Structure 1
Amino acid sequence: MDKALELLRQDTWRLIDQTALGPHFHALQSFGTDDTLCASVGAGLAPATARAWVHHDTVVLGIQDTKLPYIKDGLAYLEQNGYQYIVRNSGGLAVVLDEGVLNLSLILPETDKGIDINRGYEAMWHLIQRLFSDFPNQIEAREITGSYCPGSFDLSIDGKKFAGISQRRLRKGVAVQIYLGVFGSGSDRAGLLREFYSRSKKGEHTKFVYPDVNPAVMASLSELFGTELTVTDVMLRLMMFLKQNSGQLVAGYLNGEEISLFEQYYERMAERNSKFLKQIESSQ
C-alpha cells in the first residue's frame, strides 16, 4: 500500500471541477478530456490532475456490451426510460451515471519506474478510504458478484457495492477512474441494467459472460452511511485531501495546448461511437 500512497502525494495537484456543468455536458466530452489529460500530464505539460464530473441520465457501455445479441432492444429500453448512452474506450461493462453519481479521475505521469495496474487501483481505494475515514464503516475492495460492471476492485460496505474503478493508459499518462454512488438508489440503478441485459440477451448463450445483475448488492454511500451526502460534500472532502497531500493545490481548466489536444481526442471518441452504433444497426 505504501507505493500506492506515494501516488497520492504530489508536488502540485491541479483540480478540474466539472460537477456543475449540467445535463448538456455529454459523456463523450469526458472521455475525450481524460485522454487529453493523459497525453498532457504524461508529456509533462501539466501537473498531476484530479478531475471530477457528473453526467445526467447516461449509461456508459463497454465494448463487450455492443456484442449482445439483441442490443437494439436493450438500447431502446434505455431510451424509453430517458437515458442516453455511449461506448467508452476503457475496459469494463455498462455503468449508470446520473446526478447522484460522482466520477473522479486521477491523472498521473508514468515515471521511469512505471505505475503497475494494481498500484493505481490501490491508490484510488486508499483515497476513498481517507475521504470517508470519519465514518466507522469498513470500505472493502473485492469483486461483488451480482453487481454491474464487476471487477476485483469493486468498493463495497457490508457486501454492497457503491463504486467501481477502471484505468486508462495513454502516452505515458495514467487515468485511474472511479464512479461513486453518492446519493440516490443503488438498487434502482442496478434494476435498470438488469432489465437492459435481459432485453439485450433474451436468455441466449453468449461466448462472453455478462453479469446477472442483482439489485440487492448495489447501494449509494448515503444509503450505506445512513446520512444524506451530496456531490458538494464529497468535493469538499476531496479538496481538503489534495491540499494536505501536495505542495500546492491549483484549480483550473484545460490549458491552451490541452484545448488543441481535446479537439483531436473528442473527435476520435465521437467517430468511434458512431462506428459502434452503425455496426449495431447493420448487425440486426
Structure 2
Amino acid sequence: MSQTEDLLQQETWRFWDQSLSGKSRSALESFASDDLLCHLVGQGQSPATVRTWVHDNTVVLGIQDHRLPFVEDAQNFLRSQGYAPIVRNSGGLAVVLDEGVLNISIVLSEIDKSIDIPTGYEVMLEFVRLLFPEAEGKIEAYEIVGSYCPGSYDLSIGGKKFAGISQRRLRQGIAVQVYLCVEGSGSERADLIRQFYEYGVQGEETKFSYPVINPDVMASLNELLGASFTVEDIVIRIQQMLHHLSTNVVSQSVTQEEMELYLFYLQRVVDRNKKMLEK
C-alpha cells in the first residue's frame, strides 16, 4: 500500500460539515477552524479529519495579492461586485468562494511519520479522483496557465481547471485544502479575478509576476461533466466515501473543550488579516 492510500484509509475519520452552517460567516472562521484542527490532529487530540465548508461571495487573497500597487482599488472593485476580500494564511494567490464552490480540508498528523509536501498534494488528488468516478482517467494535475491561483497541482479535465490545492502546516498537523468549483460558471469566476488584477496592477511594473487570467481555461465540474451536481450532493458523496475508507466515521463539529483553542486561533487569523489589508 502506498503512503497516499495509507493516509486515506484511516482507522477513524472525523467529519465536520460546515457546507450549510458556514455560508453566512466570514471565511476567516474557516481558516481558524483548519488551524485548530492542525493543532488537535497534529498533537494526537483528534483523529484525522475531513472538513467541508462553503462561504458566500468572498475572494481569498494570497500574500502577494495584498502587495499589488493599487490593492485598495482592486479591493474596492471586489466590494462593488458584492465580494468580501480577505487574506488567507496558506499559499497561493486570489481565489473565488461562493455558494457553488465546495471547499474540502483533509487534516492529517505527522506524529508517526512525516508527510512531505508532494504527498500532501497526492492525498487530495486521489481523494478527488475517488469522489468522481464518472471522471475516471480524466482528472489531471498540472499547472493551467491563464487560470487564477495557478500551481503544479491545478486539477483539470480536458485542459480546463476546476480546482486548486493548498497546504497549511502547524504543530505536526497538515491541512490540505481544495476548492472545487461544482456549480455555476468557472469562466465568470475567472473574469472577476482578471478584473481584480487589472485594477490592482494598472500597468505598473511589479517585482512579482501576477497571472494574466484567461477565463476560457476555467470551468465548473457541472460544465465539464455535463452534470447537475449541487454542493450538497458532493458533501453526501464525501460522507459515503469516508465510510468506505474507514470502519469508524465520527461526525463532530468543534466541541466545548476545543472552543477556547478555536477562539485563540480565530483571533490570530482576524488580527493577521486586519494587519495585511491595512498595508
Q: TM-score range by the shorter chain?
A: over 0.9
Identity %: 55
CA distance in 1, matches of 2:243, 2:136: 24
Q: Which amino acid aligns with 1:90?
A: S
TM-score by length of 2: 0.98
The separation in 1 between residues aligned to 2:107 and 2:123, in whole angstroms, is 12
Which residue identity does 1:85 align to in structure 2? Answer: P
**Which residue of structure 2 lines up, in the alignment, with residue 243 of structure 1?**
243
- Name the aligned partner's letter for residue 197 of structure 1: Y
Match of 1:275 in 2: 275
Structure 2 gaps of 5+ residues are: none
2:43 paired with 1:35: no
Equivalent in the alignment of 1:282: none
How far apart in 1 are the matches of 2:60 and 2:195?
15
| Secondary structure of the corresponding residue to residue 10 of structure 1 | coil
Match of 2:81 in 1: 81
1:220 is aligned to: 220
1:120 aligns with 2:154: no
CA distance in 2, matches of 1:145, 1:257: 45
Distance 1:150 1:247, change over 3 A: same
Contact 1:37 1:258 in 2 (8 A): no
Gaps of 5+ in 1: 280-284
* Cα contact 1:32–1:265 (8 A) shared by 2: yes
CA shift at 1:167, angstroms?
A: 0.3
Letter in 2 for 1:88: R
**Does structure 1 residue 20 correspond to structure 2 residue 16?**
no
Residue 113 of structure 1 deviates from its aligned partner by 2.5
- Deviation by residue 1:46-80 (Cα, 9 ceiling, x = unmatched): 11110000001000000110000011111110000
**What's the CA shift string for 1:124-166, capped at 9, x where partnerless?**
0011111111345600000000000000000000000000000
2:192 matches 1:192: yes
TM-score, L = length of structure 1 = 0.96
* Whole-angstrom CA distance in 2 between matches of 1:206 and 1:229: 40
**Distance in structure 2 (CA, Å) of the matches to 1:276 and 1:236:** 36
4+ residue segments displaced more than 3 Å: none
How far apart, in 2, do the equivalents of 1:144 and 1:159 lie? 7
**One-letter amino acid matched to 2:125:** W
Q: Deviations over 1:227-278 (max 9, x none)?
A: 1111111111111111011120111111233211111000001101111122
8 A Cα contact 2:162 2:219, kept in partner: yes
Separation in 2, partners of 1:22, 1:242? 21
Equivalent residue number for residue 205 of structure 2: 205
CA RMSD of aligned residues (A): 1.1
